[in-house]
Structure 1
Amino acid sequence: MTRDRTFPTLNALRAIGAIMVVLTHSAFNTGRINQGWSGAVLARFDFGVTLFFILSGFLLSRPWFLAAALEEHRPSTGHYLWKRALRILPLYWVVVVVALLLDPVNDDADAVDWVTNLTFTQLYTHGLLPSSLTQMWSLCTEVAFYLVLPLLCVALIGRPGRGLRLRRVVVGAIGISVLGVAWQVYVAQIPGSEGHYAQWLPGYLPWFMVGVVFAAVSASLTARPRDHVLDRLAADLTGCWILAAAVFAIACTPLAGPRLLLIPGAWEAGSKVVLYTVTGAFFVLPLVFGPERDGLVRNRLSTAVPAWLGDISYGIFAIHMLVLNLVFSVLDLEVFTGHFATVVALTLTITVALASLSFYLFEKPILRAKNVGRFARMEPPDLEPEPEQTPEIAP
């Protein structure tokens, strides 16, 4: 039997990404992002989306690469899509309905707004995204990735029965990443009123490809354990995170574009994607390779509280803009007028409470249907997972 890894710290990584998104939106709405170096850092906490995309690329593509490495049947695409739908759609639809019905800014929402937002197609129309749903652009992009992932994995793996060829995967992922950066450089020159091109999937493929390459290498090491350079690098978590912090610091400068919602220059847009890609790679690397629980950081990230926050992270992401706007309304605050500490404390507290209720009373019961009938999962016969299973990843 081949014994697989469990990646016990990745749930915590989801929580980190979700909290970063809440912090950056709170900082933007209060105007905190314009205040000194700390504002510059908070403005770049949209890096939480990078973590979501890398984790999705890693955990969702890994079953395909593992099946290829073990020379087993490919995973069921039907099961994969069904499970993604159960995880994403119910809460998303509830949040969309609540936002369009109850947020007064959305009183003029028409049938097109309803249809596009319910079908993840709002990025492919002109105009601003609805209030309380502006963060959903990244989920639209993620859903697009979900749909192309099976075809992408088949293309990177090649003909069945030839095992997993890492060189093919790495070269293919690099080529896709280069095209993704080129997309961002090009569309940055298109006026924002013409569409949301800079938020479409192609521009963020470099982030997903980090996860895809990590998944392929990880699957190869599971099927054929050996010494690998990524395991050696990952053993030094401190060194990896120092490098990640250094690159992130560069991303906090004007090199990665303006802090506000202004159209970046072509090279600013490309630089931001590249800098976030490198930062994300070094940040995630020691949590998917090297020792799984060795050291203070890995052990802490594997404990109950980070795992719980990871479980509810999708709810945190989906609900927080509704809560943030509610906090501004109840406190009678104007945007860009300060009160960051108060706003973020209330937003996080209320959002975490609502996300917990949502996960345990709504989302988790729905997920029990993931192995119903024809959608039942088929495990590779030669793979014996550890008792702790790989966590679900959603933005």
Structure 2
Amino acid sequence: MPKISQKGQQMPASPIRKLTPFADKAKLDGKKVYHLNIGQPDIETPEVMLNAVKNIDFKVWAYTASEGTLAYRSKLTEYYNKLGYNIKPEHILVTTGGSEAITISMMSCLDAGDEVIIPEPFYANYNGFAHQTGVVVKPILSYIENGFALPPISDFEKLITEKTKAIMICNPNNPTGYLYSKEEMEALKQLALKYDLYLFSDEAYREFCYDGREFISPMHLEGLEENVMVLDTVSKRYSACGARLGCIITKNKAVLAAALKFAQARLSPGMVEQIAGAAAVDTPDAYFINVKNEYTKRRDILVQSLNKIEGVFCPNPGGAFYVVAKFPIDDTDAFCQWMLETFSYENQTVMMAPATGFYSTPSGGLNEVRLAYVLNADDLEKAMVCLEEGLKVYPGRVE
């Protein structure tokens, strides 16, 4: 029988989805499963976006321009300039989801063997994207004790070699929810300029900043125009994960020209998605105010409930809709599987994402779990009761 490639064998599995068979089996057994493993919001998609799809009227479902339609890029320009990005439609390349924005950016900016420094824990699929493109991830540890703040710049400099070509951040962060401060962003700017590095900024959770905290993009920092690659998606902003619509934003003309060639090779982003995305830009501000208030309430329920459980520690995140919590166990992969495969409380259980998959450093996150607060308040409270009961009787618990 023909063998699969080494790349296929070595491609990392998603920590977010790898326990799905156990969740499916739990459901078949009649258990209620609370899904805190994946960032799939239950918030309704804006009505203007859905209506745009319902009211589509075309005779041919045709290709679009490889860089995205001018109509959509023009609407996006309105959105980003309202945030102070000072861009034009030609600074945007539309992608099939945020995932393609990341892979095209990596292929446009980096050669196989080049290194990108990423504070960890980080979005698990960065490992997969790097594996696909031949890029080498150089992880730099952040720590739960200080809420996963940006590591000292001196620690970054220790990792920089002649092969280092980029730094990547996710702000607000997935999986930790950490929101980088203006001072931290300024420090990254100086580092990027000092070593002439790209600064990739994954901004999927830009709208979700809490407690009056300010979101700072590298697009807000003068002097970085040739270094910044903003990677974005409609998935979280409009609760439209299935639309698979993202974009790259950069003022670096050479990078855009290279990225366009990769975009041409995959032909074009979807027409229907761009029609919906253009309409979404007109989503009323009240929508985001309500969503932010809802997520703040959910975050408070989750963080407070976790910290009341004996042996659990959870920092209070400033953004996104995730937390990483430390549990009194030494193998969260085994624990998360046990919760689905063996445990139930009043015929309920909880699905979580082991944090090991969000680390590149061996043994990172062995006692940590990522939880997404994407369920309504009532379900979150029930899930936390269930989790507390599970931790009480888990045979692998450590003190």
Question: TM class, shorter-chain normalised?
Answer: under 0.3
The TM-score, its normalising length taken from structure 1, stands at 0.26
The TM-score, its normalising length taken from structure 2, stands at 0.26
**Higher RCO, Cα 8 Å, sep 6+:** 1
